[in-house]
Every structure is written in C-alpha cells, then in structure tokens.
Amino acid sequence: MPLNHTHDPAATSWLASANAAGGDFPLQNLPFAVFRRSGSAEPFRGGVAIGDQVLDLAALSRTEGLQGLAAQAARLCAQPVLNDFLALGSPAWQALRHALFALLHSTATSTTEALVRACLVPQSAVDYAVPTRIGDYTDFYTSIHHAHKVTQLVKPGEPITPNFQWLPIAYHGRASSIGVSGQTFRRPLGQAMAPGASAPVHGPCTRLDYELEIGVYIGPGNAQGEPVALEQAESHIFGVCLLNDWSARDIQFWEMAPLGPFLGKNFATTISPWIVTLEALAPYRLAWTPPAGAAQPLAYLDTASNRQAGALDISLEVWLDTAQRRASNDGLGCAPARLSRTSFKHQYWTVAQMVTHHTMGGCNLQSGDLLGSGTISGPGPAEAGAMIELTAGGRQPVTLAGGHGQPEQRAFLQDFDTVILTGWCEAPGRARIGFGECRGQVLPALNA
C-alpha cells in the first residue's frame, strides 16, 4: 500500500489531545471500535479514536459532514457490529478514513470543527464491545523463536516439526469465548497428567499462561472453493488488534496427544477494542525473507511484493499487575511490572501468507472473522511472548520488578493477576501509531 497524505508526520488535528507526544491515537491512526457511553443502555455503534476521544460514527452519519462512499460506509459503522462495513472492501475503508482525516485536520473550518466536536465522546466515559460478529476464529503458530523454545521445554534436544518452515501452522479456536479488553474469566478446570504419574487428575489449571499475539480481522470474504492468491490476500484484511490467547499449559500438553488444543485454549481469548487499519500501518512495512539456510516457500506462498514489504514492525510489551501491587504502598498501589518486549517483525510468516494458506484448501473466510498470529517472541530471552518461555516451563520463576514490600515471583499466573498487552509503531520521521491496550484478569476457578 503506497504512502499518501494521511501518513504525513507533520499533519496535526484541531483536537489538541491528538497532537500529544507519545499518544496512541494521532490523526494518522484513526482506528475503529464499537462502543457506547458507560452505564448507559445506548446501542453499541462504531467509533474512531482521535486523541483522548471517540468520534461517534452513528452521530456523524446523521450530519452533512460526509458524502458519497464515505457517508455510506459511516452508516454501516452505525450498526452494533462492523461486519457490513468490513465487507465493503478497501475503497470504502479508504474513503471513510480519508474523509475523517479531512474533518479532523487542523485546516478544517470552524463550522466543520463544531459539527465534529458535537460527535465526540471522551474515551474515559465509554464501554467497548467485540467489534465484529466473529463467525470463526483461527489461531496460528508462526514464531520460530517461540517454537524452538517450547520444543526444547517439552522435548529437549529435538528440532521443531519439519512442517513449520513450509506452511503457517494453525488450529481453529473458539469464537464464543472471545472478549474485549477488561475481560475477566475463571481459572479453567480440566485434566492434567503430572510428570511421572500413571493417571491424570481433574481440577483447576495450575500452569495458567498468556500468549502475546496480534489479531487480524477479515474484510471481504472468499467463496468456498476459491482460494485467495497471495497477491490479493491483503485486500481481504481490514486491520489488526492486540490479542491474548490465554493458555492452560498443564491441560494443553496432556490433551495435545495426538490432536491439537481444546480445553487448554477455549476458555478465554482477550482482544483490544481498537482495530488499526492496514493503511495506517503502511509506513511500518518491512521486507520479509526466510532465515539464511531455511527452506524457501512454495510458489503459492511467495511473491515479490510479499518479500519486499510483507512484514510489519509493531513493538509489543507485556505487563503484569497483581493483587499485591494494587494494594501496596499504603493503598496507593504501584505500577504493573513489565515482563517482556518484542516486535511482530520477528514472525516467520506474514499476515498475507496466513490468509492465503488458510484458504488454499477451499475454506471460505467471512467478513469479521478473526485470525490470531500465534505467540510473538523475539530471539532474546527478554523477548518471550509467553510465561512458559520466560520461566523455562515454570522452573525459573521471574521476580517482578518495581514493587513495594515483599518481592513477588511468578512461575505461572495466579488468581487475580491482570495481564496487559500494549503495542505501537514508532520511528524517526514517522507518526506514532498506537493500539491502546488489551487487559484481562484471572479469577479463581468456580469450585476453588
């Protein structure tokens, strides 16, 4: 996707909070979500983030501020889910984004500013919902660094499976348990086989983990039996979000013999509310190449454009907040502890390759479907995207930095822990593009 005027790092908005240094939502971003005012019975509807505000697209669609295709797109965003808007495709997405850019730009007239201000709602005063009706959810496994580390934990001395460098591995997850940031869920119950035991036990998960991922939203779908070629794959992708694929490791590793994840994964998945469009991420495209000495992809997973700019440089962090941290320092609390930092640029496969491989056998993706990238881990030990890596399978607990009182350690997640994912793109001479946060909390098991 070529750069255009909406990527100009010098562009500013008449809304002062959109111009604040280090903010997630400047004029160049304009991500989409579904929201309503907190504590109200209002219907959920689409909105766009600008500074510390949400631009209410339902309210805007009732004004004369938008025309043509942009007005049509905004009317579809006024619905409780964004599926119909996503199905319109990139011409409509771009028309609306460019029209909003003009309305919010510092050169807009005072009349335009007044019209748009009347449609703003403070982000501090809204609740969010899952932004699409997710018909299907597929979770990939595309970090070679994560694959290497977990393989050595589970099967020391063995290489990763040979198919990893030939195709984007994935499994179908559970759409019904996907929740938006702020989601709480109970520690899952299941079977687990302890090392050396002769029979499994049933009870609450004892090795609860998070997984740092990116979520990918499908725009227009494809007809059943008609694969999406790699050259067209990105036209089927609306944008991306943050995603936490919570994982019950003890349950997962017992049940994954010989089939894939089931109860170890289906109890909760948390996503951030904001969908950052591929157009907003255009300044942060990178070349994609397989590592030296690795297998070269088969022809259907290889194009010049994917090699030239298929990767995305998204910085990501994982933070942990605990009950002790929230209650410490004489009740004032202390900040969450950072567990790791990495980048999406380390993923072995691109989002376009994931879409193409997903459809290669004839699978029909639908508007609003969600794909997970799989755990995002970098090459260094501090770049792990899951606690199972950080703690060497629980054998080397991490000490949480920056707390007050008695130091805390974690081998895996404890009850009332809150995991917070953050993400952003930033580089000299480019506008910072933020993702907000993805926050979820573990509650005790139902019978605990």
- State whether the Cα torsion 268-272-277-281 is positive or negative: negative
Count Cβ atoms below 10 Å from residue 324 Cβ, excluding itself.
18
Token pair listed for 407:
């130091």
Burial label, 277 (beta-carbon count in 10 A; 0-12, 13-18, 19+): buried
- Which member of 145, 146, 236, 346 is catalytic? 146
* Contact (Cβ atoms closer than 8 angstroms) between residue 421 and residue 244: yes
Smallest CA-to-CA distance from 435 within 14, 19, 49 is with: 49
| Cα torsion 158, 163, 169, 171: sign | negative
10 Å Cβ neighbour count for 114? 10
Token pair listed for 240: 């991306």
- Distance, in Å, from the CA atom of 349 to the CA atom of 353, rounded to the nearest integer, reads 6
Secondary structure (DSSP) of 12-40: -BSSGGGG-TT-S--TTT--EEEEEETT-
* Longest pairwise C-alpha distance within the chain: 75
Q: How far apart are CA 408 and CA 79, in angstroms?
A: 45
- CA 441/CA 423 separation, integer angstroms: 19
* 146 catalytically annotated: yes
Count CB atoms within 10 A of the CB of residue 380. 12
- The string of DSSP letters for 231-289 reads GGGGGGEEEEEEEE--EEHHHHHHH-SSS--STTTTT-EEE-S-BEETTTTGGGEE---
Two tokens at 272?
């951030």
Strand pairing report for 237-244 and 212-218: antiparallel
Residue 331 CB contacts under 8 Å (≥ 6 apart), including other chains:
none
Query: Rounded CA gap, 234 and 303, in Å?
Result: 13
Computed from CA positions of residues 225, 229, 235, 240, in that sequence, does the dihedral angle turn out positive or negative? positive
82/73 Cα distance (integer angstroms): 10
The residues that are catalytic are 146
